[in-house]
Amino acid sequence: MKEFMHYNTVSEAIAELQKEGFTIDFNLKENCLICEHSKYDLEDYEIAGIYRYEGNTDPSDEVAVFAIQERNGTKKGILVNGYGFSNVSEISEILRRLKYME
């Protein structure tokens, strides 16, 4: 797996990952990745890095930045997702289906 550094803020992580070619803005819907009007099967993608952040004043303000790429390395993007007690099952599903790069 490629070594990524940890960034101090969510915006710094996104900016630096974009410089590394992670330019697609992924979202989740119906167990697949989406970008604008395109759907991508989770089975075709893998996690290149995960960066977690906690709010300074409210620990429940938690965000995870996922660097995700197509298994053949062609498409790369970022998924930003709030996490915490309410999103545990959703994040677990992502991690189960999107394996770490080897």
What ranges do the domains of the chain cover?
A: 10-97
pLDDT at residue 16 in the model: 93
Question: What beta strand segments (E) does the chain contain?
Answer: 24-29, 32-35, 38-41, 45-54, 62-70, 76-83
Could you tell me which residue, 14 or 1, shows the higher pLDDT? 14
Question: Apex CA 76: angle with CA 48 and CA 33, to 5°?
Answer: 90
Query: Taking the CA atoms of the chain, what radius of gyration do you get in angstroms?
Result: 13
Summarised one tens digit per residue, pLDDT across range 52-90 is 887 666 666 688 898 999 999 889 999 888 765 555 566
- Which pLDDT score, from 0 to 100, does residue 1 have? 42
Distance CA 42, CA 74 (A): 15
The answer on pLDDT for 97 being more than 50 is: yes
The whole-number pLDDT of residue 81 equals: 81
CB-hemisphere CA count at 13 Å for 101? 17
pLDDT digits (tens, 9 = 90+) for 2-23: 555 778 888 999 999 999 999 9
Compute the residue count for the chain.
Answer: 102
